[in-house]
Amino acid sequence: MSALFEPLVLRELTIPNRVWMAAMCMYSAAPDGPEVGAATDFHLAHYAARAAGGAGLVITEATAVRPEGRISPWDLGLWTDRQQEQAARVAALITSLGAVPAVQLAHAGRKAGTDRPWLGGKPLPAGSVGGRPVGPSAVGFSDEHVQPHELTVEEIREVVEAFAASARRALAAGFKTVEVHGAHGYLIHSFLSPHSNHRTDGYGGDFAGRARLALEVTDAVRAVWPAELPVLFRVSATDWLEPEVPGWTSEETVRLAKELQARGVDLIDVSTGGNVADARIPAAPGFQVPFATEIRNGTGLPTGAVGLITEPAQAERILTEGAADVVLLGRALLADPYWPQRAARELGAETRYPVQHAYTMRRR
């Protein structure tokens, strides 16, 4: 059997294969009104296509736990009953098509409140997502971004509680996996990195202080998530800064992963970058895979590899060489929702189709 199409068991959840859909923002929810942050017909069609195409796990886009935590006003959220109702439709549809539904919970922090990328993605005026952007310190992501409000300790507690509340809603909506978004310069990552976290209290300074929010959020989510279901954590393994410049590093990522493992995280979804506006990132096919390997070897935790993974043979090799345990595809699945089925044919594995498709294809 192809390694890419072997099931993966995390706790008591069996995921049918190791081709997973990475979370990708679609900027297609209502920005305000009674439908604010709720999934639309677009989202139903978008996620259904990838589930029908054979992805084993489908992770919905970064879903904000608070209004001001949205990357853009058009992001999904999970803090209202209406959002939960529509999320339940998404989860049920993914499940009906043979994939496992997962939700990525997020807070955009100091990168909140930007325009849709096809309109330039520039920062919008302060308050465009219901409040001023927030961060560990009053340090903007770039000169264009609004200077964030430095969170107080009480406000940090409210953020932690918001993650737990959204996790409860996700569970009630039928999701089987939750991923904490701790990457790409959003709130949790900005606390982790000394590049953006200049605090001198218990949430800043040394590794323990900078990692405190990530661990408190993880504890809060794990406490409300069933013991038999997995929790994932997405991390940026490096800020891509020169060694002499303070930033988040792969060594600290391994250290964080050990702490997350002790708190019940079941898989680390390994990306990089996003916290430094002008970082030089050496993008190339599979360029982020070594970070997944470093974490896997340093902790024993399963890891997911991402980034310019485009061909079935390339993905298969990542798994057979022990570089990671799953691959998460983004643009490859946008370009071809049926990439997993094509990969199965190329690798000699059994293809998985929705029963409606399989029945029709067998007919002569």
Identify the DSSP state of 286: T
DSSP string for residues in 163-174: HHHHHHHHHHHT
Active-site positions read 186
In 3D space, the residue among 260, 274, 194 whose CA is nearest the CA of residue 221 turns out to be 260
In 3D space, the residue among 247, 221, 246, 236 whose CA is nearest the CA of residue 189 turns out to be 236
Distance CA 350, CA 355 (A): 14
3-state secondary structure (DSSP) of residue 3: helix
Phi and psi, residue 240, nearest 5°: 60, 40
Number of H helices, E strands in the chain: 11, 12
Is the distance from CB of 340 to CB of 320 less than 8 angstroms? Answer: no
Is the distance from CB of 220 to CB of 161 less than 8 angstroms? Answer: yes
Is the distance from CB of 50 to CB of 333 less than 8 angstroms? Answer: yes
Is the distance from CB of 311 to CB of 329 less than 8 angstroms? Answer: no
